[in-house]
Amino acid sequence: MTHWILYGMPGSLYTAKARSYLRKQGLPLEERAPGDRRFTTEIVPVTGRWIIPVLQTPSGEIVQDGTDIIDHVEQTGLATRSAYPTEPVAKVVSLIFELFGGEGLLRPAMHYRWNFDGDNLPFLERDFVNALFPGADAETRAGVFARSSGLMRKAAAGFGVTPDSFAQVEASYLDLLDRLDAHFAVYPYLLGDSPTIGDYGLIAPLHAHLSRDPHPSMLMKQRALHVWRWVERMTTRDDDAPEFLAQSPPVGTALSSPTLAALLAFVAEDYLPEVDAMVGWLNAWLPEQPADRLAGPMDRSVGRMTFPWRGLDLTVMVMPYRIWLLQRVQDAADGLAPTEQQALEALLAPAGLSGLLTARVARRVVRRDQREWWAA
Ligand SMILES: N[C@@H](CCC(=O)N[C@@H](CS)C(=O)NCC(=O)O)C(=O)O
């Protein structure tokens, strides 16, 4: 085999992250749906569970997880556009948006997908079933969609999307859209002229759910044209940025731009309270666990916590995968030279985001055998 195979779905959040990165590398790529029988026979026995995205490399290796897929390709030396900025402070900032994009925007993604049935449901039904069970008869289709949508609606509640929070989820998302729109009016990508790991984190919710499902797609196109254009740009091999030819973006200035500062401030306001609460919850929970509970591969969620968010008490799942992404931010920040640390702090402190570097769980999360584990 000479090409790369991505198992994923058009409507899958985490597939969008891997697909966007792989397309930008220009590697020969074939996407297969999980309804393909080879997913069941070749992939699930290796991942040990039904989960996408999964990359099968030309040499037959199987890699699950959006970040691991990106890092695997980076390590082959075949990446033509690295996801990681060479400038160390930019790299930390980019990793912050990887965490926030992939994990902090589940609420708007799930809300705008699952709470606008009149606009979304006929599209979702066909889109899901075509990937999960191509060629199914009408009765089977209905059953497949009822099962998968039921699971996803339950997951939405687990991320804190309930009727009590709908208004805040919408207000928060509209604020973010406006800030992103202002940024992408000036810069083709988050940090300037090339997509980085932060763009790949953000594209996860902003592609599959928020730009593609009928209801939020209309909202994005009407309210935030530049975000929509960035989404289009993130799904192509080339830069698809003709509007910037005339405008000549001030490459290299994105990091210190007021529009990026506004986005960092949004992360602080919207997501830092959840990170703080999650770290505090885990630090209280870890010493209470018997050693064997901490020795095996982890479940996606290890419990539920309640934390204050936009005037509400929100109850959400505690997901150690998020700690693994947070560690990536903190490890990169720890590796900075003193002057670079000062430069980073000069970006984070005014945004109220310095706490992201100090919120640390007593035990590290590692990824091994396609899963998260507590480090020994
Ligand atoms: N951390 C994983 C998350 C992957 C993930 O949650 N994928 C979803 C689809 S977007 C899935 O397979 N869900 C099925 C399940 O959890 O049972 C990654 O980044 O790849």
On whether residue 83 sits in a domain, the answer given is no
Q: Does residue 84 lie within any of the structural domains?
A: no
Domain boundary among 76, 98, 127: 76
65 within ligand 1 shell (Cβ under 6 A): yes
How many structural domains is the chain composed of?
3
189 Cβ contact list (under 8 Å, min separation 6)? 195, 196, 199, 230, 233, 254
With the most atoms of ligand 1 within 8 angstroms of its CB, the residue from 7, 21, 51, 62 to mutate is 51
Give the ligand 1 atom nearest the CA of 204. Answer: 10
Is-contact 356 326, C-beta < 8 A? yes
Closest approach atom of ligand 1 to CA 12? 10
Q: Name the pTM for this structure.
A: 0.97
DSSP letter (8 states) at residue 192: B
Shared domain check, 35 and 129? no
Q: Whose CA is nearest to atom 14 of ligand 1?
A: 51
Residue 160 CB contacts under 8 Å (≥ 6 apart), including other chains: 107, 309, 314, 315, 316
For ligand 1, what atom is nearest to the CA of residue 51?
12
Report the atom number in ligand 1 closest to the C-alpha of 208.
10
Q: Splitting the chain (376 residues) into consecutive groups of 10 residues, what average pLDDT does each group show? A: 93 98 96 97 97 97 98 96 97 98 98 98 97 94 95 97 98 98 96 95 98 98 98 96 75 88 98 98 97 92 98 98 98 98 98 98 97 95
Is 98 among the domain residues? yes
How far away, in angstroms, is 174 Cα from ligand 1 center? 26
How are beta strands 303-309 and 312-318 bridged, if at all?
A: antiparallel
Residues 201 and 149 in one domain: yes
Q: Are 189 and 201 in contact (CB under 8 A)?
A: no
Distance from Cα 18 to the centre of ligand 1, integer Å: 12
The span from the CA of 86 to the CA of 97, in Å, is 16
Cα of 53 from ligand 1 centre, angstroms: 7
Residues 283, 236 share a domain:
no
- Identify the CATH number of the domain in which residue 216 sits: 1.20.1050.10
Nearest to 18 by CA among 258, 235, 289: 235
Rounded CA-CA distance 178/181 in Å is 5
Structural domain contains residue 101 = yes
Residues 94 and 225 in one domain: yes
Atom of ligand 1 nearest to the CA of 300: 16
286 and 348 in a single domain? The answer is yes
Of 15, 47, 52, 300, the one to substitute when testing ligand 1's pocket (max ligand atoms within 8 A of C-beta) is 52
Rounded distance from Cα 14 to ligand 1 centre (Å): 6
Q: Is residue 81 part of a domain?
A: no
Q: Which amino acid is at 126?
A: R
For residue 67, the domain's CATH number is 3.40.30.10
Ligand 1: does its nearest atom lie under 6 Å from the Cβ of 204?
A: no
Q: Is 160 close to ligand 1, i.e. is its CB under 6 Å away?
A: no
Structural domain contains residue 82 = no
178 and 291: one domain?
Answer: no
Picking from 45, 76, 107, the residue at the C-terminal end of a domain is 76
Residue 210 Cα, ligand 1 centroid: separation in angstroms?
Answer: 17
Query: CA–CA distance from 210 to each of 14, 121, 246 (Å)?
Result: 13, 14, 29
pLDDT at 370: 95
With a 6 Å cutoff on the Cβ, whether 53 touches ligand 1 is yes
Q: Are 333 and 92 contacting, i.e. CB atoms less than 8 angstroms apart?
A: yes
> In terms of domains, do 135 and 237 share one?
yes
Residue 215 near residue 222 (C-beta atoms within 8 A): no
242 shares a domain with 281: no
Q: Which pLDDT does position 244 carry in this prediction?
A: 87
Helix (H, G, I), strand (E, B) or coil at 295: coil
- Which of 217, 232, 260 finishes a domain? 260
Instruction: Say yes or no: 236 and 359 in one domain.
Output: no
Does 191 share its domain with 252? yes
Ligand 1, atom 7, lies closest to the CA of 52
Is any atom of ligand 1 closer than 6 Å to the C-beta of 298?
Answer: no
Residue 8: domain span: 4-76
Q: Is residue 228 part of a domain?
A: yes
Please check whether residues 20 and 63 belong to one and the same domain: yes
What is the 351 CA–ligand 1 centroid distance (Å)?
A: 31
In angstroms, what is the span from residue 261 Cα to ligand 1's centroid?
30
Residue 265 located in a structural domain = no
Please check whether residues 215 and 335 belong to one and the same domain. no
Are residues 312 and 165 in contact, defined by beta-carbon separation less than 8 angstroms?
yes
